């Protein structure tokens, strides 16, 4: 059965639900009010990322029922994604203590890893490496960090949506080329569907979130995207070990900016759980005076720089760690250039 009808259907559901959520937020005055830590200046409805969650998760049982994806993958995405989305939704509409949020994050990560089978053996400098239980612990930390950094990086109009779409389309292209060249077996021939479905769900939301945004994603959407992209990247490692390196490269803009900023703030002794505006992309948006140029540059970096290197690694042209270093070094230079992690008054 063809699934091509499903992609526009997911876009349509996401588009419609986002519009409905915007009207609901305006009616109930669920607005993100600008403050000293904000990157926007106009009160804007929030919580639109729920549309991404709903449109994507509704498609999962259908895909599993059609045997286009496995039920273990569907359960991993359903349980972890829904749990994080609910936690983020509750935090968006009230406040949940950081320790309870972190506990929920690890619970979702453990759930996902249980259904995925943990972290598979990886390739490192040409050698196969099975980290055993340590690999599972590292995989849980990776998922928790990715969902949190996605929240941190959702700070200007359209950036989190554009990042997700670029990463997902890159991941789907990797799978397609992998199958075309005969590297993937029959059971892996449809793995490209999941990133394409996620890209479709985000595309419907992006219509409303493209600069200038008419609604924000909120923690429910950003956390959901972070852990879902993390699960999909670990699933890629089960298809072929080097594909995990490719997904890490595709996610490079967010990983480098968020990680460099966090480390710099930790070394300075800042309270890292407090809101701030010291990511490189936030400094860049203030320098340009608009969000649109920064969001478009992020998309350009993903397509013109990170995607070719990810394909190079995924198709066996270069070792994964070496490819990651090649991809990340210019991103680190940009992070330094745009003052990532510096105190705002010093930048």
Q: Is 36 helix (H, G, I), strand (E, B) or coil?
A: coil
Question: Quick check: 218 and 225 in contact, CB under 8 A?
Answer: no
N residues, the chain: 347
Place of tokens 């990086």: 153
Residue 37: pLDDT band (50, 70, 90) is low
Residue 344's pLDDT band (cuts 50, 70, 90): confident
| Contacts (Cβ under 8 Å, ≥6 apart) of 319 | 123, 125, 126, 313
The whole model's pTM is what? 0.95
| CB environment 128-142: b (16+ within 10 A), e (fewer) | eeebeeebbeebbeb
Residues 6+ apart with CB under 8 A from 254: 149, 150, 153, 163
pLDDT in tens, 232-276: 999 999 988 999 999 999 999 999 999 999 999 999 888 777 778
> Phi, psi (5° rounding) for residue 128?
-80, 135
How far is it, in rounded angstroms, from Cα 50 to Cα 75?
A: 19
**pLDDT by residue (tens digit) across 101-132?**
999 999 999 999 999 999 999 888 777 888 88
Residue 306's closest CA among 166, 196, 180?
166
Q: Is 95 helix (H, G, I), strand (E, B) or coil?
A: coil
Query: In angstroms, what CA-CA distances link 160 with 150, 228, 263, 321?
Result: 7, 13, 21, 25
């Amino acid at each position: 059965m063809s699934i091509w009808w499903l992609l526009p259907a997911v876009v349509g559901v996401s588009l419609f639900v986002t519009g409905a959520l915007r009207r609901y937020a305006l009616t109930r005055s669920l607005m993100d009010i600008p403050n000293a830590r904000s990157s926007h200046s106009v009160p804007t409805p929030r919580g639109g990322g729920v549309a991404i969650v709903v449109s994507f998760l509704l498609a999962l049982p259908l895909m599993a029922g059609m045997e286009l994806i496995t039920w273990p993958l569907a359960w991993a995405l359903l349980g972890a994604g829904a749990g994080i989305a609910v936690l983020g939704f509750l935090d968006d509409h009230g406040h949940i203590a950081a320790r309870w949020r972190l506990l929920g994050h690890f619970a979702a990560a453990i759930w996902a890893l249980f259904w995925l089978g943990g972290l598979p053996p990886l390739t490192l400098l040409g050698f196969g490496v099975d980290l055993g239980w340590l690999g599972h612990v590292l995989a849980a930390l990776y998922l928790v960090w990715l969902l949190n950094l996605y929240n941190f990086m959702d700070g200007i109009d359209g950036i989190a949506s554009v990042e997700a779409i670029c990463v997902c389309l890159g991941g789907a292209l990797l799978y397609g080329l992998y199958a075309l060249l005969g590297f993937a077996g029959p059971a892996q021939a449809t793995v490209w569907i999941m990133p394409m479905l996620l890209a479709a769900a985000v595309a419907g939301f992006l219509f409303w979130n493209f600069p200038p945004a008419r609604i924000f994603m909120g923690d429910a959407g950003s956390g959901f995207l972070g852990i879902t992209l993390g699960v999909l990247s670990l699933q890629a490692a089960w298809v072929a070990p080097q594909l995990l390196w490719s997904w890490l490269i595709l996610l490079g803009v967010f990983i480098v900016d968020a990680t460099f900023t966090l480390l710099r703030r930790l070394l300075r002794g800042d309270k890292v759980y407090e809101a701030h505006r010291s990511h490189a992309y936030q400094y860049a948006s203030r320098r340009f005076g608009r969000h649109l140029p920064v969001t478009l540059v992020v998309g350009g970096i993903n397509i013109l720089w990170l995607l070719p290197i990810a394909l190079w690694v995924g198709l066996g042209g270069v070792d994964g760690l070496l490819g990651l270093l090649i991809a990340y070094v210019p991103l680190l230079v940009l992070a330094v250039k745009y003052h990532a992690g510096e105190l705002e008054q010093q930048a």
